Structure 1
């Protein structure tokens, strides 16, 4: 389920604090066909959507294609959005997760995730190599997790969503999210400790 039925907001999760959704004005303008609003929305969320998609799909090329698909859906579905209990960004994270799941299901072979490119320029070649190796091990361990555990960790730890927001994006209860996080963390620890020995 990517979008609530016309005239209704998502039923239960990601409640909007004090009735305020910071994206509502842009979404309403996008729904009326305002291309400038769509550009502004993409500028606001592109980095976050691509970062999450990279974490979930394991490579930047798939992440870029997934992000394009997500923003096309925003353009197509914004007119159907009705403000309610959830923020539009919660729906955006849900769509991103679903698009990535679909891509992963279609992809038969998993490629290792690319290491992040944020190592300091002042580091020695050995430190850069160690950091890249460590990041590659973590990325591979994340990719080996079941989809829901992987997504829960990516949303909470890498995207900084609250447990409530992440639960809404994954369409699970907060208790179920906590369980996904706990199981995912245990599996990561086992995998990374096993790699180190």
Structure 2
């Protein structure tokens, strides 16, 4: 299964190939192209899924499902029509939305067990970094789904508004509106904790 990464990732010409070219090679039976493309995409999609879901196990499931769908449509992929990452961001967001709606019907998932804190020098700084990440993730989780997706794509994934518009299948103006409203909501949610979290 392409999702299972192989330890001997290839170097050389495939490293320079685009995601789209690697997908076409995979569709033509190139296993090394599948390994290289998986190694590129898993961290990106996993991070995006986690930001949308706030749960690592669910993010892993969504990542695997999104990639399985990519491998399935690979033989029909037409280069030049869309970027692989644009397609995957859209599929990942849809899968995450389905899970979030399922949560509302069945109740929240069990909380993940926190990792033990290493009581070594610098612990305070690490605790504050963790607190900031948890506060941001919590505030993101309280945003409406579309605002959260737009904010994550723009300010965490670093994508430009036109690409976000393509991923979300809305206008650039709608993206700008979602981001502005999402940022205002985040600012309100975190504003009272600036000193606690060491924010400027």
TM-score bin (small chain): 0.7 to 0.9
5+ unaligned residues in a row in structure 2: which ranges? 1-16, 196-200
Match of 1:154 among 149, 152, 163: 152
Match of 1:97 among 85, 93, 97: 93
Shift of the alpha carbon at 1:137?
A: 1.3
Change (3 A) 1:76 1:85: closer
Correspondences of 1:73-152 after superposition (within 5 Å): 73-108=69-104, 109-110=107-108, 124-152=122-150
Whichever of the two has the greater Rg, that structure is 2
Q: Which residue of 2 aligns with 1:8?
A: none
1:69-127 CA-partner distances (Å, limit 9, x unpaired):
0110011011121123422221111111111111211123446998xx9xxx9863222
**TM-score normalised by the chain length of structure 1:** 0.78
Decide whether the 8 Å contact of 2:151 with 2:179 is kept in 1: yes
Q: Which residue of 1 aligns with 2:37?
A: 41
Q: Which deviates more from structure 2 when the two are superposed, residues 32-41 or residues 98-107? A: 32-41
Match of 2:53 among 47, 54, 57: 57
Match of 2:18 among 9, 16, 22: 22
5+ unaligned residues in a row in structure 1: which ranges? 1-20
State the alpha-carbon separation in 2 of the partners of residues 105 and 156 from structure 1: 23
State the alpha-carbon separation in 1 of the partners of residues 69 and 139 from structure 2: 30
Change (3 A) 1:112 1:126: farther
Superposed CA RMSD in Å reads: 2.8
Shift of the alpha carbon at 1:157?
A: 1.2
Change (3 A) 1:113 1:124: farther
Q: Which residue of 1 aligns with 2:62?
A: 66
State the alpha-carbon separation in 1 of the partners of residues 67 and 29 from structure 2: 14
Structure with more relative contact order (C-alpha pairs < 8 Å, separation 6 or more): 1
Decide whether the 8 Å contact of 1:57 with 1:63 is kept in 2: yes
**TM-score normalised by the chain length of structure 2:** 0.77
> How many pairs align?
175
1:43-87 CA-partner distances (Å, limit 9, x unpaired):
111100100011011011111111100110011011121123422
State the alpha-carbon separation in 1 of the partners of residues 35 and 61 from structure 2: 17
SS across alignment from 1:47: helix
